[in-house]
Chain A
Amino acid sequence: MINSILRFGLIFILLILLQILLFNNIQFSGYVNPYVYVMFILLLPIEIPSWLLLLLSFTTGLIMDFFSGSPGMHSSATVLAGFVRPYVLRVISPRDGYEPGSDPSMLTYGFIWFLTYTLLIVLVHHTALFYLEVFRFADFFRTMLRVLLSSLFSITFILLFEYYRRRK
């Protein structure tokens, strides 16, 4: 128990630092802003109580908000992502269900499963985030392009990290 709290704490700090120090500084046209810190919400254990999941999502978003000076934007998107995660897990559950006490990882459930899982949640998160950022429906399709391109990059990075984690 203590061990896993420590482990997730470490992942959390690592992801936040990566996001702030590295990914927030990627200024590759206005269209690509990867937000990899969502990975924290993805990695939490499958059986985590939903209230804890929501609170952790909220905290993650709030910290990101403080660091990027955008009140409520990130937290709103992460809380939404935390809210849909149990439903996503239910929809894409493998035929014989989840193993008790397991983490949603590529190692346990395979690449395709992890890709679908990441794709769905990152898309929900990024859609909410980018539309909240613009806060208007003018340039609807341009914002959508930003969502899609950024999601593509976020998902790529998340898969890379997950692959690295698996090898360890």
Chain B
Amino acid sequence: MKNLLNFLARYNNLIIFLILEGITVYLLATGNNYHNTRVVNGIRGLINGIEERINITRTYLSLREINENLAAENVALRNSIGRLVKKENSLFFSVSDSIYRQQYLYTSAEVINNSINRQKNFFTLNKGYLQGVRVDMAVTSGNGVAGVIVGCFENYSVAMSILNLDFKLSARIKSNGYFGSLSWDGRDYCHAILSEIPQHVSVNMGDTIETTGYSAIFPEGVMVGTVSDFEKIGGDFYKITISLITDFKKLHFVDIIGNMKKTEQLELEKLFQ
């Protein structure tokens, strides 16, 4: 007993160190569930309040730019409405369609916290599950992909940005339809990597890269960026560098997109796996 006490007294330093490191490793290992734990939830709520204050100031400073972007988006939307109206009036589409149902729901949100300089970047949005946001919804900014919701609180949600080593997205070259896997290599916030495109496919600088919609998260055809560089590596595939269309340094207003037929698709796919 005495020996044990001596031992403890002698190495108390090391023991406390190991216990504390143990706690941190546990926190690290349970990483993603972290967002959902209740304790953290409370603290996050408080911190989000502070971050929102900071954000209000920041938004005010860039109001002019935001207005311009909104105006441009309005024009684009008006144009697409114009096209739709015309379609309805034309002879072929004048049938009242009972099969067609809206597949994607859109809602807008504001980014209240964002980072681009880590290896695993997340951003926080000011809408949560009370506003209908759920985990695994897509987040786009203007016309480009921004991220995926990974955690929801009552009034806030956290999204994993493209700029995260764990982010994977199915994307394709618009001109020829070949699809591959998009990920970020952690180097800089303007570029991502598209891999798994076979070498017989013709790739050109400036080709548009868009989402495929295979993952049931993003709708088909949301723009990701343009090809800025490509090289042949090792085996049979290209390594295509994409310059992202979304500017993560000034991410402000984003759209959250929910896929209403997602469970249907996933359940069906599950049957065959």
Q: Which residues of A contact B27 (CB under 8 A)?
A: 65, 71-72, 75
Question: Chain A: interface secondary structure?
Answer: helix
CB-defined A-B contacts under 8 Å, sample of 8: A30-B116, A54-B16, A58-B23, A69-B44, A72-B27, A76-B21, A76-B24, A83-B13
Is A71 touching B31 in the complex (CB atoms < 8 A)?
yes
**Distance in Å: Cβ of A90 to nearest Cβ of chain B:** 13
Separation in Å of the A130 CB from the closest CB of chain B? 8
8 Å CB interface, B1-33 against A: 12-13, 16-17, 20-21, 23-31
- Judged by DSSP, the binding face of B is helix
Which of B17, B54, B120 makes the CB contact (< 8 A) with A21? Answer: B54
Closest Cβ–Cβ distance, residue B51 to chain A (whole Å): 9
Give A residues with C-beta under 8 Å from B.
21, 24, 26-30, 32-33, 50-51, 54-55, 58, 61, 65-73, 75-76, 79-80, 82-83, 86, 132-134, 136, 139, 142
**Further contacts, 11 of them, CB under 8 A, given A54-B17, A134-B119, A142-B187:** A27-B116, A28-B117, A50-B16, A51-B16, A54-B16, A55-B20, A67-B47, A69-B124, A72-B28, A73-B24, A80-B21
Asked, given contacts A66-B40, A71-B31, A72-B26, whether A79 binds B158 with beta carbons under 8 Å apart, the answer is: no
Choice from A30, A70, A75, A82 contacting B117 with Cβ under 8 Å: A30
Q: How far is the CA of A132 from the CA of B31 in the complex (A)?
A: 12
Partner of A72, one of B25, B35, B115: B25
Chain B nearest CB, measured from A163 CB (Å):
26
B78 on interface, CB distance cutoff 8 Å: no
Contact of B17 with A79 in the complex, beta carbons under 8 Å: yes
5 tightest A-B CB contacts, nearest first:
A72-B27, A72-B28, A76-B24, A72-B24, A71-B27
**What is the bound-complex CA distance between A26 and B249, given in angstroms?**
11
Closest B residue to A69 by beta carbon equals B122
For A134, the chain B residues whose CB sits under 8 A away are: 119, 165, 186
Q: Which residues of A contact B31 (CB under 8 A)?
A: 71-72
| B43 at the A interface (CB under 8 A) | yes
Tell yes or no: B214 within 8 A of A by CB: no
Is A76 a contact partner of B117 (Cβ separation < 8 A)?
Answer: no
A contact residues around B47 at 8 Å (CB): 66-67
A33-B117 CB under 8 A given contacts A51-B12, A54-B20, A83-B17 = yes
Which chain A residue has the least Cβ–Cβ distance from B33? A71
Q: List, in ascending order, chain A residues with CB within 8 A of B249's CB.
A: 27
A50 to B12 Cα, complex, angstroms: 9
